[in-house]
A and B are shown apart, each in its own frame.
Chain A
């Protein structure tokens, strides 16, 4: 038994059984992480490079911890301060790193599709840690895993994704992942931040956030990605917060309990108020905790492919 893919580029390419297998393996790693010795020797023979061409806190630390707790050797690379600024191409950078006997690549890049491009040109297994506005597969896996942990099987569960759907790789990966697991997905937010024809992905659109909250079991709230918005798509952050920000009053008015998720980093007071982010409904820190187990599972399951030279 192993995954049907050699790389984890996007959720789009995964089979449902791959996702199930990642979850089952993550269950084991989650148990390992609760021990006094949070480490297993499985990947003693593997070296992983974390290539981050874009900023990251959670994902990067999470991947690095996952690698270390599998006993893999890790090398960290960030674009700033590297030879990328001297004009080296992506393939040259990566091949030079691989020449130093590195087995696996974890990459975040601001260009959508960068990991697919790289996969065509290098031999090592590649894990996409976020590419532009396209996919962020491990985030979607840990999100679905966290929902499964709280609510059980995802089949028939209603998940609303709220906010900057247009620029969010978390949204796209979540949509693919939740659809494959049989959940019903609704997206909500200002019309300017929801792509046209998104219904074609099998999701519903609800522009009224209150209605969207009323009809869901889980709300996954996304950050407004001002760094990707090259023209103004809403007037001010204050106005966005007023119409689309989630606060405690909104949750209280629902007469039911829903789970609140956020992939981080949170802009408190914009898309999510502190009284919601820190409430009992919030599973934001569970998501972060599960992230390490999910990434251990992905790295472990893909590591076989590297050594076999498939």
Chain B
């Protein structure tokens, strides 16, 4: 097991990602942040909070998206239990930043885009991830913002711990 990011590094990385986001979206008038359930919401919550601090805007549209019913493996293995979807704003003709912690095969993001389109037609969808496992892709999906790019083999596992849920902030690579 190897630590990819410790508490301090994770914090700096999130700061950078939030600043990049503000650089591209400025006031966030036309932009919404949406975290992907279940594990992306911890990161998206932090990013949304940082964006609020940087821009001084308190009313940034922030939501959570559950993709369970849009998965392509609904009937492979045990049935998946859904989490909460909470998008109480319109995404019609707006920029949407999807946030997840780890980008691996790209299948979750494919599902998320399908789920998102059911809420309206966004002007543009961007993808932000904390960890990009770049050689593991099974679909042509790439992130617009990545915290750390790692080269992993399929048997390895990247685990992100969030203080809100796991009592510590850390990203580890498990062999």
> Which positions in A face B, CB cutoff 8 Å?
1-2, 21, 24-25, 28, 31-32, 35-37, 39-43, 45-46, 70, 300-301, 303-304, 306-308
- Is B85 a contact of A1 with CB atoms below 8 Å? no
Asked if B70 lies at the interface with its beta carbon under 8 angstroms from chain A, I say: yes
- Is the beta-carbon distance between B69 and A31 smaller than 8 angstroms? no
Question: Within 8 Å CB of B74, what residues of A?
Answer: 42-43, 45, 303-304
Which among B75, B81, B82 is the interface contact of A307 at CB below 8 angstroms?
Answer: B75
Asked if B75 contacts A28 (CB within 8 A), the reply is no
Determine how close the nearest CB of chain A comes to the CB of B81; give it in whole angstroms. Answer: 5
- B84 within 8 Å of A (CB atoms): yes
Whether A31 and B85, one on each chain, are in contact in the complex, defined by CB atoms closer than 8 angstroms, is yes
What would 21 A/B residue contacts be, using CB atoms closer than 8 Å? A24-B81, A28-B68, A28-B82, A28-B83, A31-B84, A32-B85, A36-B118, A36-B119, A37-B119, A40-B70, A40-B118, A41-B69, A42-B69, A43-B74, A45-B74, A70-B69, A300-B69, A304-B74, A304-B75, A304-B79, A307-B76
Contact A28 B79 (CB under 8 A): no
Complex interface: chain B residues within 8 A of A31 (CB): 84-85
Q: How many residues of B contact A (CB 8 A)?
A: 19
> What residue in chain A is nearest B67 (Cβ atoms)?
A40
CB <8 Å contact, A41 and B75: no
Given contacts A28-B85, A37-B118, A39-B118, 13 further A-B contacts (CB under 8 A): A1-B78, A2-B78, A2-B79, A28-B84, A32-B69, A35-B119, A37-B119, A41-B69, A42-B68, A42-B69, A45-B74, A304-B74, A304-B79
A63 to B140, CA, bound (A): 38
Tell yes or no: B30 within 8 A of A by CB.
Answer: no
Query: What is the 8 Å Cβ interface bit string for chain B, positions 48-91, against chain A (1 contact, 0 not)?
Result: 00000000000000000010111100111011011111000000
A residues less than 8 Å from B66 (CB atoms): 28
Chain A proximity mask over B136-151: 1 for CB below 8 Å, otherwise 0: 0000000000000000
* B residues less than 8 Å from A37 (CB atoms): 118-119
Contacts of B71 in A (CB 8 A): 42
Asked if B114 is at the interface (CB within 8 A of a chain A CB), the reply is yes
Which chain B residues have a beta carbon within 8 Å of chain A's beta carbons? 66, 68-71, 74-76, 78-79, 81-85, 114, 118-120
Q: Given A37-B118, A42-B70, are A25 and B78 neighbors across the interface (CB < 8 Å)?
A: no
Contact (Cβ within 8 A) A21 B114:
no
Q: Is the CB of B75 within 8 A of A303?
A: yes
Q: Which residues of A lie under 8 Å from residue B118 when comparing CB positions?
A: 35-37, 39-40
Contact B78 A304, beta carbon cutoff 8 Å: yes
CB proximity of A233 to chain B, nearest CB, Å: 44
Query: A28-B66, A32-B69, A43-B74 given as contacts; is B79 within 8 A of A303 (CB)?
Result: yes
A306 CB contacts on chain B under 8 angstroms: 75
* Interface pairs A-B: 8 shortest CB-CB: A307-B75, A304-B79, A40-B69, A42-B69, A28-B82, A37-B118, A2-B79, A1-B81
Query: In the complex, which residue of chain A has the Cβ closest to the Cβ of B79?
Result: A304
> Which residue of A25, A43, A308 contacts B81 across the interface (Cβ within 8 Å)?
A25
Given A35-B119, A307-B75, A308-B75, decide whether A41 and B70 contact each other with a Cβ distance below 8 A: yes
B residues less than 8 Å from A300 (CB atoms) = 69, 79
B86 CB, nearest partner CB in chain A, Å: 8
Closest residue on chain A to residue B87 by CB atoms: A35
- Given known pairs A40-B70, A41-B70, A42-B69, the reply for A301 and B79 (CB within 8 Å) is yes
**Distance in Å: Cβ of B85 to nearest Cβ of chain A:** 6
Which of B81, B82, B118 has most A Cβ within 10 Å?
A: B82
Residues of chain B lying within 8 A (CB to CB) of residue A35: 118-119
**A39 closest partner in B (C-beta):** B118
Instruction: Give the complex CA separation of A96 and B8 in angstroms.
Output: 64
B81–A21 contact, CB under 8 A? Answer: yes
